[in-house]
Structure formats: C-alpha cells, structure tokens
Structure 1
C-alpha cells in the first residue's frame, strides 16, 4: 500500500506533522514563562492540578495554533523553502480538516481551563483570539512579531488568574517583559526566511529592521532580562535567581554569536535554543521558592 494512502496510521502521522509534534521548542517557549508566572502567583509549588492544566493546555493550544496558522499561511508557505512541505501547504491535509483538528484541540484546552477559576476562563478568550489573529498580522503590520509576543505571553495573566482569581498589575508588566523575549527569538526566526518573505511580499520584523536586525535582537534580549529581573527581584531575588539571570545573559551572548553572520542555519539554531533561556529563568524562580520552603 502507498504510504500516502488515507488510512488511519497515515492520517495520524500527517496530523502529528501538522502540529509539529516532533518539534517541541514551540510549546516550550510558551510554557516556561507561564510556569514562572504560576510559581510567582502561587508563591511556590502550585499543586499538581494547576501544573497539569498549564502543561497540557500549552501543548494543546500551541498545536491548535499550528493548525490555524498553516491554513492562513498556506498560499505564502508554498513559496518558502522551509515551509513548502507542510501538510496543508502540500495538499496532504485539507484546510477544513486542519481547522476541525485545531478546533478540537482548542476545545480540549478550554475544558482544562474550566477546571480552574472564572477569571482564567474569561482571560482565555482574548488569548485565543490573539492566537487566531497573528497569522493575519503579517499582512498589515511592519512588526507582526509584536502581536505574536502578546499572544505568546498571555499564559502569564492566565496563570495569575488561575492561582489567585484575579490579574494584578505585576502580571501585565511581566507580559510586557516577556514580549521583548518573543521579539528577540521570533526576529531570529524571521531572519531565516527573510529572502523568501521579501520575494512574496509579507511583513516581518527581520525585514523592517533591515541591517539593524542583530542590534535590535540584542536590545530585545537585554530589555527582557532587565525588566524580568527588576520585576521579579523583590519577590524571588537571591542566589539562584541571580545565577539564572547570569546564565540567561550568557545564552544571549551565544545566540548573538550564532546570528551575527545572518546565516539561515545560525539564525534557526539560535531560535531553537531559546527554550533553554526560558527554562533557566523558570528554574531560578522555582529553586528560590524551593529553598525558602525547605523542599
């Protein structure tokens, strides 16, 4: 039998490819800031229930976002070397099929949020709308990565809403701080496809920033670490968090070295490594709380 035949195993493989199952960097980039916020909101260990909700919910929503993004971008993606063979773009999965899968995944994530608080449920709605809007931002905005930055940071206020029942000003300040990190790593991502994107006429931060792209990525990283450190220090400042900030800064230097020559491979590698920076900052927060609680 032909491997491309529409049997169940073949469809499952296509669906897993569609949601980037073998590329976890995407959902890890969403997860670590959300978990940092969850630990901060709970002032330590949040419990297995909330941890499961945020880990599973992050995976489900990122997977749903891949489905809607690939449908929205299918005409563009066929002209980009890196994305031309995606299941929707190549015609192996029909747009309606991908949207139904995405809707099912988003609904499953919503069911998880329903087990938390009314505030978290309410804030999950604009989070979903932002995720759906992002693919269209690149048609109209010079810096669509800013829209992605807000969407990818919305786990922070939802974490506070789930743990505390409300969203304090600190959560929105942390969202802003995290937005600069998203601008940094998604500009690296956009640098990979810059030549293709110029040819097909879509807008990205890499195109808008032009020859200042590397300098801007450096500034975005530094703003992120400066704001993140300043906002969190009163709550979790200490040896472990300070060490985490230092290690994160060292990773920034490594990433800037990778993108300095603007090669596709270097920029893509820097993007894929960013989840370690997020993990480092989360680990600093979690270790500080663990030390204070004696476990």
Structure 2
C-alpha cells in the first residue's frame, strides 16, 4: 500500500514558519505576515508577534482607571486619553522591557530550546542594536507619560525599578514571578494616580490582586521550561512548586479573587450605588471561575497546554473589566 501520510518535510511551504520566526510566536502573526523584513527582528524582540504580554500589562491599567472612576464618581473627558495612553504605553513599555530582558538573558535564551530562536541568540539583532531599540521605545513611552499629572509621572519613572530588576530575579530567588507581578501591575497604581491625583487603599489592594494573578499565570507559563531551567540553574515558582503547583495555583486564584473583591468594596463604598457595587463585585467572581477552568485543564507536563492556558489570561483579565465598566453605567 502507498503511504500517503504527510511528513514534516513534505508539508506545504505556506504552512512553514517564516524565516527568523520565534518558536513560540502566534501562528500567522502580523509581524511575520505584513511587517517590512528589516523591521521584523526588532518587532520580534519587542514580542509584537506575541501580543499576550501587552494585554497582561495593559489590563491592570484599565482596572485601575475603572475603579478610580467608581471611587470618586468623577468621569472626565481626559479619561478617554488615559484609556488610549495606557494601550500605547503598554505596547511600548512591554517592548522595551522584553528587549531589556532579552539583552540580559541572551546566554540563557541560547541554552533553552523554546527561546534560542529569539532575535539576539539567533543572531538576527546585535546587543548594540537591541540597546538602541530599547531606548527608542522607552523614550516614546516617556513622551506619553509626560501628558499625565506630576504625581503619575513620578509613579511612571519609579516603575523602571522593578522592570530593571526582573530579568535578574531568576538568578537569585525562586520567586521571580513576584518581581514580574510588581512590574506588570504597576499601571494599576499609576493610572489611579493619573485620574485621582493620589494613591488610595483600593488601588493598593488592586495592585496586590494583580500580583497574585501574575503568580497564577506566569507559574503556568514557566512550566514550559522546567527541564531546561533545571539544567542551567534558572529558578522559578514552577520548579519550586513542582508537583504541588495545582495547590499553589488554587491559592493564587483565591488570593486574586479575594483581594480584588476587597478593592472593589473599598472603591465603591464611599459614593457608588448598591447596584454598582454588586455589578463590580461580579467581576472578580466571574474571573475566579475562568481561572478555575484553567486550573482544571492544567497539565505541567504538557508545554503546549501551558502556553494555551497562559494566553487565555487575556480573557481572564478582561472579564472583571467588563463588570467594572457596567458598574460605572449603573
């Protein structure tokens, strides 16, 4: 009998990844399809071909703005600019942060199967070129930051500290995901201040909820690399928790929902209506169910499943935002 099975070598050319594409990039992403060839390595360096990180940086900003408006019951036309500025800033700062991460991790990335195709270890971009690209993105983000009030500008500059430390955290702590959480959720504080002019308890509790959420999704993500990480001595919560990861993920789920619920109560009690409070509280409740769905499907030994669940967290974060916006309209 003739064997009609299609081998990887015989796959149609259109199904092959474009030259220089990163291993875990989204299939058919806009960078590989439409970006000019000379720009692709730099956009890949910024993870523009993997947009989930931008969403995970952006969503806490929008949480902070929604709860700030719920808190003071004072929506302004300038808040529309904050919505847009958050999106632009998240794209640029995520790109700058990922570029910095790849510069510092270039030797580690070259030793890990999933990351050795990244632009620096694969030779697509030089370290010097990456530094210039990082500074350009950071400068554009800073220009956007200058449109905020003075207190928010100071908060934005302070955010550089956890961003700078994060790439080194896996070298000295088993909890590098905490440092990622500190960096990725800073926008909740900054945008709260951009709207209200000062920090308040709801923003701080929301920040802690975001950190717990980051520990949840990034522990799942880190399970893709546990074998390589063990060989090269890189630390992570995935390696620390090992077979106990489901129990720890459940704890992070409960912390996320509980802390976000407290943040909502603190934000709504001063002036919001009972209906607005109920709608806003439905947000963390629904988010918790989505996280529970992820937990049911979690398999630490299945790298593909871990990546799929990690990417699902865009929807996880958008769920409470929908309820927060609904509460503002109540």
User: Normalised by the size of structure 1, how large is the TM-score?
Assistant: 0.91
Q: Find the aligned partners of 2:135 and 2:297 in 1 and give their Cα distance.
A: 37
Q: Which has the higher helix share?
A: 1
* Aligned residue pairs, count: 286
Match of 2:286 among 229, 242, 247: 247
- Give secondary structure in 2 for the equivalent of 1:192: coil
Deviation of 1:249 after TM superposition, in Å, equals 2.1
Instruction: Specify the alignment match of 1:289 in structure 2.
Output: 328
Q: Find the aligned partners of 2:169 and 2:293 in 1 and give their Cα distance.
A: 30
Instruction: Specify the alignment match of 2:295 in structure 1.
Output: 256
Deviation of 1:269 after TM superposition, in Å, equals 1.0
Q: Find the aligned partners of 2:127 and 2:85 in 1 and give their Cα distance.
A: 28
Instruction: Specify the alignment match of 1:278 in structure 2.
Output: 317
Deviation of 1:259 after TM superposition, in Å, equals 1.4
Is the 1:63–1:105 contact (alpha carbons within 8 Å) kept by the matching residues of 2?
Answer: yes
Instruction: Specify the alignment match of 2:120 in structure 1.
Output: 88
Any idea what the Cα deviations from partners look like across 1:21-57, whole Å, max 9, x if unmatched? 1221101011111101112223365532111211111
Is 1:166 aligned to 2:198, yes or no? yes
Is 1:141 aligned to 2:180, yes or no? no
- Give secondary structure in 2 for the equivalent of 1:80: coil
User: Normalised by the size of structure 2, how large is the TM-score?
Assistant: 0.82
Deviation of 1:261 after TM superposition, in Å, equals 5.0
Q: Find the aligned partners of 1:290 and 1:222 in 2 and give their Cα distance.
A: 28
Any idea what the Cα deviations from partners look like across 1:123-157, whole Å, max 9, x if unmatched? 11221121121001111111111111111111011
Is 1:25 aligned to 2:52, yes or no? yes
Which structure has the larger Rg?
A: 2
Instruction: Specify the alignment match of 1:99 in structure 2.
Output: 131
Aligned positions of 1:1-295 closer than 5 A? 9-43=36-70, 45=75, 47-236=79-268, 238-291=277-330
Q: Find the aligned partners of 1:133 and 1:91 in 2 and give their Cα distance.
A: 25
Structure 1 spans left out of the alignment, 5+ residues: none
Is the 1:119–1:161 contact (alpha carbons within 8 Å) kept by the matching residues of 2?
Answer: yes
Q: Find the aligned partners of 2:328 and 2:36 in 1 and give their Cα distance.
A: 45
Deviation of 1:251 after TM superposition, in Å, equals 1.1
CA 1:56–1:200 in structure 2 vs 1: closer, same or farther (change >3 Å)?
same
Structure 2 spans left out of the alignment, 5+ residues: 1-18, 21-34, 269-275
- Cα RMSD over matched residues? 1.8
Is the 1:214–1:260 contact (alpha carbons within 8 Å) kept by the matching residues of 2?
Answer: no
Q: Find the aligned partners of 1:205 and 1:112 in 2 and give their Cα distance.
A: 34
